[in-house]
Amino acid sequence: MNISAMPGTILLVDDDPHIRQLLVFAFGKAGFGTLEAGDGEEALAQVERHAPDLVILDINMPRMDGLEVCRRLRATSEVPIFFLSSRDDEIDRVLGIELGGDDYVVKPFSPREVVARSMAILRRTGSRSGSSASPADTVTVLRHGLLSLDPESWTAQWHGHEVGLTVTEFTILRTLLAGPTRIFSRDQIIDRLRGPGFALTDRTIDSHVRNLRRKFAEAGGSDLIETRAGIGYRLGTCTGATAQG
């Protein structure tokens, strides 16, 4: 298979060959190239060797589970990660998100849904699988205080220093920056991320916000996002002052 001719390359990581086969067929039908790995160590080698556009990652695998694979990937890469879980356990889901995952689905799942949600992630990253942007779609760098976001390169900076974000973290921050004085409810943020009806929870959004606060606090940005109790979140002053709320 000539994966370079495909609209995008998906790495499928699961110790169950039947699940990998289902996803290979579904993604192939949608025009994607696919790579496979049956365990975590092979997954890490595939990412280093082929630099896929997206990783579909099973959480429960022998030898090295998906959460450990995610930890290691996030140390060197911002490749989008889509978790597969065999347990309907929100704690596992939230932990996966806090480690840097972009989405998740619980087994048994619909392969078509996995493909559709993967395409949504890839469109947000401007991947080869996404639609081409026209000149009219070009967006300039967005700024607020010491914060700047570049939607073209999907990079964030605080006072000139780059802060590595996942796709979902960047999208949440861009949503807040689009209305810096506006308070966004968690439901409104979920709608911006996935579109109405996707199986995200308030707790998942809270986990992403915690990640954002931690990353920017390490860069000196302690006032990135404000919490409005019972309502939602609003962009902070982004001046480096102590955050409120």
Helix (H) or strand (E) holding 242: none
pLDDT for the residue 245: 47
Of 178, 180, 175, the C-alpha closest to 190 is 175
In this prediction the pTM is 0.63
Q: What's the confidence (pLDDT) of residue 242? A: 62
> What pLDDT is attached to residue 1?
37
- The DSSP H or E segment spanning 184 is strand 184-185
Residues present in the chain in total: 245
Phi and psi at residue 226, to the nearest 5°:
-105, 145
CA nearest to 173, candidates 222, 219, 224: 224
pLDDT attached to residue 133: 40
Residue 197: predicted pLDDT: 43
Domains and CATH numbers, the chain: 3-125 (3.40.50.2300), 135-235 (1.10.10.10)
Q: Check residue 77 and give its pLDDT.
A: 86
Q: Per residue of the chain (245 residues), give pLDDT as tens.
A: 334 433 689 999 999 999 999 999 999 988 899 999 999 999 999 999 999 999 999 998 988 999 999 999 988 888 999 999 887 666 677 777 788 888 888 888 899 989 988 988 887 766 433 333 443 444 578 899 999 998 877 889 999 899 988 888 888 999 999 888 899 999 888 877 765 445 567 788 898 899 999 999 999 999 999 999 889 999 999 998 764 44
> How does 14-23 read in b/e, with b if 16+ C-beta sit within 10 Å?
beeeebbebb
Q: What is the pLDDT of residue 196?
A: 46
Q: Let me know: does 85 contact 59? Beta carbons within 8 Å.
A: yes
